[in-house]
Amino acid sequence: MARHRSSATPLAWAYAALIVYASLYPFAGWAQPGVSPWAFALLPWPHWWSLFDVVANWLGYIPLATLVFASVVRTGGSVQRGLALGVGLGSGLSAVMELTQNYLPQRVPSNLDWLLNTVGSVCGALLALLVQAAGGAQRWQQLRERWFVDRSAGALALIVLWPAGLLFPAALPLGLGHVLPRLREAALDAVQGTPWAASLAVLFHLDAPLHPAASLPRFAEFSATVLGLLAPCLVAFAASPAGWRRAVLVAGAAGLAFAASTLSTALNFGPQHALAWRTPLASDALLFGTALALALVWVPRRAAVGLGLLALGALVALVAQAPADAYFSQSLSAWEQGRFIRFHGVAQWVGWLWPYAAMVYLLTRLGSRDD
C-alpha cells in the first residue's frame, strides 16, 4: 500500500493528549493508594452510573481508534495492523488512565469505564475499516491531491484544530495565543519564597502590571482580529496551490471563525447572547481580514510562509497586550470551575499553543524543496 504523510497522525496525538487531560484533571492531590492499583478491575460493576457517563466513555474513544487506524493505513501499514493498533492503543491508554486515577483522590477508577472505552475503540477501528473498504481513503487522497501539495499533513492538522481553539474564551475576537498571563503567574509561583525571587521579578519584570492600559487602542484590537483570521489562511496557503481553491479555503475559514465565535459566546453567556461578540469593530475586522486573505490567493507558497510568520508574530504580540475585562474573567471562571470542564482542556491548550505550533510548521516549510 502506498505511503502518505497523514494528518491523522498529529491529530491522533492531539486527541490522546485531550483524553489524558480529561481523565486526570485537575492533576492535584496525588497520593499513594491504600490498595493495589489493579483492584478496580476486579470490583463488581458500579451501582451508580448515568447514561451520559456511559455514552461519553463509549463515544470518547471512537475518534482515537479511527485516527490511529487512518494513520497506520495512510502511512503504508496493513489493515490488520491498523485494527490491532487502533483497538490496542485505545484500550491500553484507557487502562493506564484508570490505573493513574488511583493516585488522584478526586478521580475514581472504574472497570466499567475501561470496558466502555475498549468497546469504543473497537467501534472506532471498525468504522475506519468500513470507510477504508468503501474507498473513502482513496477518495480523500484524490481530493487532497487536488487541493493541497505534498507534505501538507501539518497544515491540515492545524486547520482542523484552529476552530477548537476559538471555543475557549479569548480576550479578543480570534485572538489565539493568549498564554503570557499564565506564564507570568507560573513564573511568580515557581520563584515565590526563594532567596532570588525579588531579583528575578525585577530582571524579568514579573512584578510589573501585566496590562498597564485599560484597553487596547481600537486599531490594535482591529489588527489583532484581522490577523486572527489571516494567519490560518496563510497556513493553508503554504500548503495549497495558488488560485481559486484558496478563495474557497478563505470563505471556509471566515465561516468557521463566525461559527466558532458564536458558539463560544453562546456557551459562555447563553444562546440569547450568541452574537454579542459581533461588535461593529469585530465585524469590520472580519470582513477586512477576509478581503485581505482573498487578495493574497495568488501569492507563491514561499511568500505565504513568510507572510504567515509575520502575521503570527504580530498576532501573538498584540494578544499579549490585551487586558482581561470583567466579562472575560467571568467567562474564564465558568470554563475552569464549572460547566465546561470537559471542553476546557482541548480548547484552552489549542487556543494557547496554536499560533506557536503554526510558526513551527511554517519554519519547516521554509526549508522545503517543493516551495
What is the per-residue pLDDT across 165-213, written as a single tens digit (0 to 9) for each?
888 777 788 888 877 666 666 666 666 666 665 665 555 555 555 444 4
Q: How far apart are CA 124 and CA 60, in angstroms?
A: 10
How big is the chain, counted in residues? 371
76-80, 266-270, 281-285, range with greatest mean pLDDT: 281-285
**Whole-angstrom Cα distance, residue 59 to residue 30?**
28
Residue 352 has pLDDT above 70, yes or no: yes
Q: What angle do CA 310, 316, 318 make, to 5 degrees?
A: 100
CA–CA dist 115, 111 (Å, integer)? 6
The predicted pLDDT at position 212 comes to 46
Distance CA 157, CA 64 (A): 14
Distance CA 144, CA 124 (A): 23
- Tell me the percentage of the chain whose pLDDT exceeds 70: 80
Best CA proximity match to 113, nearest among 30, 48, 29, 32: 48
pLDDT at 284 (0 to 100): 94
Query: Cα dist. 87→41, 113, 115, 118 in Å?
Result: 19, 15, 12, 7
Give the model confidence (pLDDT) of 208-229 as tens digits: 554 444 567 889 899 999 999 9
Comparing C-alpha atoms, which of 261, 289, 259, 255 is closest to residue 276?
261
Give CA–CA dist 355/228, Å, rounded: 9
pTM of the model as a whole: 0.75
The per-residue pLDDT for range 90-124, each reduced to its tens digit, is 999 999 998 898 888 878 788 888 899 999 999 99
- Percent of the chain residues past pLDDT 90, beyond the cut: 36
For residues 357 and 164, what is the distance between their CA atoms, to the nearest angstrom?
14
- Return the pLDDT at 336: 47
Angle at 96 between CA 90 and CA 100, to 5 degrees: 145
- pLDDT per position as a tens digit, 292-330: 999 999 999 999 999 999 999 999 989 888 765 444 555
Q: Which of 195-204, 262-271, 362-371 has the lowest mean pLDDT?
A: 195-204
Q: Which of residues 271 and 286 earns the better pLDDT score?
A: 286
pLDDT at 48: 67
What is the grid cell recorded at 106?
Answer: 478526586
Identity of the residue numbered 261: S
